Amino acid sequence: MQFPEPRAAYIHVPFCVHRCGYCDFTVIAGRDDLADDYLDALSVELSSLKTARPVDTIFVGGGTPTQLTPQQLQRLAKLINNWFDFSDAVEFSVEANPDGLTVEKVNILADGGVNRISLGAQSFDNDILRVLERAHNESDIQRAVEVSRSRIKNVSLDLIFGVPGQTIEAWQTTISKALQLRPQHISTYGLTFEKGTTFWSRREKGSLLQIDDQIEREMYTLAMDWLNSANFEHYEISNFARTLHRCRHNETYWQSLPYFGFGPGAAQYIAGRRETNHRSVFTWLKRLKSGESPVGDSEELSAEERAREAIMLGLRTTAGVNKREFQSRHGIGLDTLIGATIQSRVACGHVHDDGQRLQLTREGRFFADSIVVEVL
């Protein structure tokens, strides 16, 4: 099989002021003193490319990329510009927290080619923000959007629902206030309790009560209804966009296309092989400093595994999976691969199959996780 070259790159910046109780990402808090070492190691890792690579999307995530000092942020932007060739048509996204985002940092990002900011707003309710252990408040979000738009017009807001103590009315207010800021993109995520996080431990001990499933379902329904009525396209389970403002980088993942990944914990998918860097920032630094590979895990996907993963990712999108394109790309039909699953899920109203395309129904979106298990 002929694999296409990656046209997308992800760079992970692990630094944060505080690790939030629900966070399961590769994050290191209170160790900004390692930032220069991180940039040194990132420079070494990027040099493995040998030559600058053409890309259509770049995504710098974290952690909190804007936790870096202005000088460090400038160095990061220079590294990215040195190792990736991109035109004005690139989608260059950077994640940021509302607190600590300054005009100086926005100017550095914009001068480096960044044209999309993804703000971790999470909520416009200060009480809920405290539960989530976020350092910002509602006014910080408003200020951050204004600061971003001084140079970068494309702003996305991340929101979380299903937070302990959160009411339907509070979630409704958060969506309403988010819409008032006129973002180009909104992501809505149900709070998850990941093993190893403090939220998981607190729930197990009974000091943090998980919200009722029915209430969480109502919150997701509210998000779909309100955002659709506000002319946001619901193009993926958790993502809504104004016209022409989908996150093109994330669409690379959902279309199971190849991508580069750099930084601790970052994954890359090239020529059917997935590699994930070591999640320990210290191990990642040590390996690169000593000339070793930073990769912690790698996996060569079989043709069937690639096909099943493409179904799983494609069903996350409202466009679903085109049967003819799937057959052409993977050499096997959807019905041949998962026919029994399709039939059972169509019967219970979770999947729509018109013979040309397979899509989750609105009801099916509530059962996406269990459908994924059946597909894989």
pLDDT at 372: 82
pLDDT at 9 over 70: yes
pLDDT at 65 over 80: yes
Q: How confident is the model at residue 179 (pLDDT cuts 50, 70, 90)?
A: very high
Q: How far is C-alpha 149 from the geometric centre of its chain's CA atoms?
A: 21
Using the 8-state DSSP alphabet, how is residue 66 labeled?
Answer: G
Average pLDDT, integer, range 23-47 = 97
CB burial of residue 341 (10 Å; 0-12, 13-18, 19+): middle
Close Cβ partners of 243 (under 8 Å, ≥ 6 residues apart)? 231, 233
pLDDT at 376 over 80: no
Residue range 242-284, pLDDT digits in tens: 999 999 999 999 999 999 999 999 999 999 999 999 999 999 9
Q: How confident is the model at residue 100 (pLDDT cuts 50, 70, 90)?
A: confident
Average pLDDT, integer, range 206-223 = 96
pLDDT at 1: 67
Say how far apart CA 126 and CA 146 lie, in whole Å.
Answer: 19
Domain spans, the chain: 8-254, 320-375
Asked whether the beta carbons of 100 and 69 are under 8 A apart, the reply is no
User: Side by side, which strands form the sheet with 267-270?
Assistant: 267-270, 273-277, 295-300
Distances in whole angstroms, Cα of residue 344 to Cα of each of 211, 277, 310: 29, 38, 20
pLDDT at 21 over 70: yes
Close Cβ partners of 367 (under 8 Å, ≥ 6 residues apart)? 350
Say how far apart CA 358 and CA 350 lie, in whole Å.
Answer: 11
Could you tell me which CATH class the domain 8-254 is placed in? alpha beta
Asked whether the beta carbons of 276 and 266 are under 8 A apart, the reply is yes
Q: How confident is the model at residue 375 (pLDDT cuts 50, 70, 90)?
A: confident
17-45: burial string, b at 16+ Cβ within 10 Å, e else: eebbbbbeebbbbeebeebeebbebbbeb
The helix/strand/coil state of 241 is strand
Query: pTM of the entire structure?
Result: 0.96
**Which alpha helices (H) appear in the chain, and where do they start and end?**
35-46, 70-83, 103-111, 126-131, 138-149, 168-180, 198-205, 213-229, 248-254, 281-289, 303-314, 323-330, 334-347, 368-375
User: What is the dihedral angle through the alpha carbons of 279, 283, 286, 292, rounded to the nearest 10 degrees?
Assistant: -70
Q: How confident is the model at residue 374 (pLDDT cuts 50, 70, 90)?
A: confident
Average pLDDT, integer, range 93-109 = 97
How many Cβ atoms are within 10 Å of 276's Cβ, its own excluded?
18
pLDDT at 104 over 80: yes
pLDDT at 317 over 80: yes
Q: Helix and strand tally (H, E) in the chain?
A: 14, 19
| Percentage, residues of the chain above pLDDT 90 | 96
pLDDT at 23 over 80: yes
**Which among 360, 364, 308 is positioned nearest to 338, based on CA atoms?**
308
Q: What is the mean pLDDT of the chain?
A: 96
Q: How far is C-alpha 175 from the geometric centre of its chain's CA atoms?
A: 19
